[in-house]
Amino acid sequence: MIAPVVAAVADLLADVRRPVLVAIDGPDGSGKTHVARALATELTARGLTTAHASVDSFHHPREHRHALGRTPEAVWGRHFDYRAMRRELLDPWRRGPGATYTPVWHDVDADTYVDRVSASVPERGVLVVDGVFLQRPELVDAWDLAVYLDAPPEVTVARMSRRDGTPDDVGHPDQQRYLRAQEIYRETCDPLGLADLVIDNADWENPALRTRSGVGPAWRRVGEEIVREVRLPVDAAERAAAIDRLSDAAG
């Protein structure tokens, strides 16, 4: 059951004293939204003010996403508007109580920007964000706690096929586009190594939680603050930035 794993993550956040940001990272079909919603529900039940958001609400318009073709590189470099996500959602939460944030920026199904509906950052609360690529260089320093959901491609592809009606074939081009984008992410950013916690979610009924190197999350309290160590190899950061510069130049 997922409940014990979610409770263990919630235990790490039980005594928050300021707005805290939690990333639920992982490949498509790994269960990110399910876990994020369960965590938000658990935290709310414990009396914490909790908000849930997703990177899927910060897509670029379809014209931008597909301008250079429907390729793995486009999924990695052109699908999401990270500047808008920082500006509208993450940075306001980092500024602290009373800042105004916008949880939804773009409707990917309608392919249109939405009317802005803002909210106020609470004094003591948790923002849980789910999505792919959440530990990219543009986002990695935003999180107080980063959780990565791990599952093999044959499992994630089967889940997406049941959920979305996509091809149930790991080798199909529609699946390879996203699987290769995840390979680019792992090669450039090492998200499993960066994450504070990794959940092996190959089995819905028996997820397994493991901490980074067995030592727990990479943050500590300093007075009223939580300080998080971010371990991003310089060469990986440079490669990721170079890919983005090439995408921008080609666009």
Residue 150 bridge partners (DSSP)? 200
pLDDT, averaged across the chain: 86
Q: If you search the block for the tokens 């699908």, which residue do you land on? A: 79
Q: Model confidence over 53-71: pLDDT tens digits?
A: 999 999 999 999 999 999 9
Q: Where are the beta strands (DSSP E) in the chain?
A: 20-25, 49-54, 100-101, 106-107, 112-113, 119-120, 125-131, 145-150, 197-200, 208-211, 219-222, 225-228
pTM: 0.84
- Cα 14 from Cα 106, distance rounded (Å): 32
The predicted-structure confidence for 201-234, as pLDDT tens digits, reads as follows: 998 888 888 765 444 455 555 665 556 554 444 4
pLDDT of residue 236: 47
Average pLDDT estimate for 154-172: 85
Q: Are strands 145-150 and 20-25 parallel, antiparallel or unpaired?
A: parallel
Q: What is the mean pLDDT of residues 244-251?
A: 47
Across the range 152-171, mean pLDDT stands at 85
Residues 69-124 have pLDDT tens digits of 999 999 999 999 999 999 999 999 999 999 999 999 999 999 999 998 999 999 98
Q: Where are the domains of the chain?
A: 3-246
Round to whole Å and give the CA distance between 211 and 197: 5
In one letter, which amino acid is 6? Answer: V
CATH for 3-246, among 1.20.1250.20, 3.40.50.300, 1.10.287.3240, 3.30.70.660? Answer: 3.40.50.300
Q: What is the pLDDT of residue 251?
A: 45
The pLDDT value given to residue 18? 87
Please determine, for residue 250, whether its predicted confidence score (pLDDT) is greater than 80.
no
For 166-202, write each residue's pLDDT tens digit: 888 788 888 899 999 999 999 999 999 999 899 999 9
Q: Are strands 145-150 and 225-228 parallel, antiparallel or unpaired?
A: unpaired
**Residue 235 pLDDT > 90, yes or no?**
no
